[in-house]
Amino acid sequence: MKLVVGNQKTYLNREQVLNFIEETKEGKCSNVVICPSYVYIDLFLDKSKFLVGAQNVSCKGNGASTGEISAEQLNSMGVSYSIVGHSERRSDQCETSEMFYEKISKLLENDIIPIFCVGEHLEEKEKNITKDIVGKQVMEVFDRLDTNTMEKIIIAYEPVWSIGTGKIPTNDEIIDVTCYIKDLIQDKYDKRVAVLYGGSVNKNNIDTLNEIDVVDGYLIGGASTKSEELLYIMSKCE
């Protein structure tokens, strides 16, 4: 069984969300987390059987942070996962490793599983420095964490050049980076983490991706907003 995490970004309006929930209600959801926009979290919790995640979380606890959503608030809603460090937040909101450490710490304090995204840009892949980049992204956060909390964190390997482009690495490339991340954390901290692959996962490539045993699941953007496509992927990940 693989974990399926849907990152629905801001793709859907309220009516589309209601249709999506209706159309997916017969799917087996115990290994499926949907991360809707904050404004639809309640709808998913009320009307669907999916596990529910957030797409982001505040670095700070409850208090004077206009426009933010805290880990404590998410926990009080029934949210059990949160994405941290997505490449769109790294680039659009200039978020840093320091912030990811704060966010992950707040999530762990509130019993929410962080899904921490790492991945290289195309130029970095072309320079053959993918592992240096990914290793740095992991260690800048993990070096500061209490080792006892590390196994609660899920890492999502998402090459930036693959997100929303339809291009994906070869299975061998995914295996290479996934094993690198797992070995790094095992060797440095003596801990095991789950690693997801993300970037243009869809119904046409899921069978090929599923040939990779070392990957523990998928972080899926666009395809997670289309009920038929998500149901198909879910059926392949049971």
Active site residues: 86, 158
Cβ closest to ligand PGA, residue 189 vs residue 232: 232
Q: At its nearest, how many Å lie between ligand PGA and the CB of residue 103?
A: 16
Which stretches within the chain are classed as H helix? 14-23, 41-47, 71-77, 87-92, 97-109, 122-126, 130-142, 171-189, 206-209, 227-236
Q: Which residues bind ligand PGA (CB under 6 A)?
A: 7, 158, 163-164, 198-201, 219-223
Q: Are 52 and 41 in contact (CB under 8 A)?
A: yes
The total of other beta-carbon atoms located within 10 Å of residue 50's CB is 23
Cβ closest to ligand PGA, residue 27 vs residue 199: 199
Q: DSSP letters along 20-52, please?
A: HHHHTTTS--TTEEEE--GGGHHHHHHH--SEE
The residue with its CB nearest to ligand PGA is 221
The token pair that represents 130 in the structure block: 């993918």
Q: At its nearest, how many Å lie between ligand PGA and the CB of residue 64?
A: 31
Q: At its nearest, how many Å lie between ligand PGA and the CB of residue 130?
A: 17
The token pair that represents 39 in the structure block: 């404004």
Cβ closest to ligand PGA, residue 83 vs residue 99: 83
Q: Are 163 and 221 in contact (CB under 8 A)?
A: yes
Cβ closest to ligand PGA, residue 143 vs residue 164: 164
Q: At its nearest, how many Å lie between ligand PGA and the CB of residue 156?
A: 7
